[in-house]
Amino acid sequence: MKNPTKANASPQRQNECIQSANADWLKEDFMGILAHELKGQLAGITQALEAIECHQLPDGAIASDAAEYFDFVKAITNNALNVYDNMLGMVQPGAVTIKKLVEIAPFLHKCVAPFMINKTITGVDLSVRIHIMPGTKIKTDAIKIQQIISNLLHNAFKYCGSGTTIYFYAHVKNGALKFYLTTFGSTIPREKCKIIFEPYQSLDKGKAGVGLGLHICKKYSELLGGRIYVLSKNGITKFNVSLPITTKTN
């Protein structure tokens, strides 16, 4: 029997096969993936609350500069609900990737904003550069892009030591949304780079997590028609994500 995803199949048929394969993957691992994704959102809420506690005044009142953390708690809670709805939708019969028109620059800033408070808790800084023309919109599944970024950042903060900086850079080039996450300090062994996106592969068994985050990044990238890969050498590790898009600029 011929593989319908080969080059001789029509683009529509190839896309149908990819959608079907990813839906099967999600159904098989649904509980593990759901638990992982919701755990990540709840961890963000916990960190925001800890940051608020750090700004608590002696009389128990909350300092004015901690007010923004309440917005983060609200945003992350909404993210958790969106992730849950998105995943439930994916396992329904005939499910498809839900695409909506999104203004990409403010959306990406919104994705990374909850992680800006992590320095208060972890001592790890986050540098963000988004070089995308204002008003540029794309039609995509925003929740899946958000989860790719969220999982990459959760992973980076987990393995980076206090006093280091995580660099997030995004731009649009050659019909693709590209973003990169770079950390300095440790190198991922070459043999690990080959299997790092497979399920239940953890870099350090002593760290929290079961090794699903990067696997989810890979599957969501593929579901959006793109790819993700990692380069790690001489203490520099860089995750690269490329997602094909059609842009619309006001």
Any idea where the domains of the chain sit in the sequence? 11-249
* Nearest one of 157, 182, 158 to 238, comparing CA atoms: 182
| Paired strand residues for 131 | 171
Q: What is the pTM of this model?
A: 0.70
As a whole number of angstroms, the distance between CA 23 and CA 97 comes to 10
pLDDT 10s per residue in the chain (250 long)? 444 444 455 656 555 555 555 555 555 565 556 655 666 666 666 666 666 666 654 555 556 666 666 666 766 676 666 666 666 665 555 555 667 899 999 999 989 988 887 777 788 999 999 999 999 999 998 989 998 998 899 889 888 888 899 999 999 999 999 999 999 888 888 888 889 998 877 766 555 556 778 988 998 899 899 999 999 999 899 999 999 998 776 6
Amino acid symbol at 69: Y
Domain 11-249: assigned CATH number = 3.30.565.10
Q: Tokens for 55?
A: 């700004």
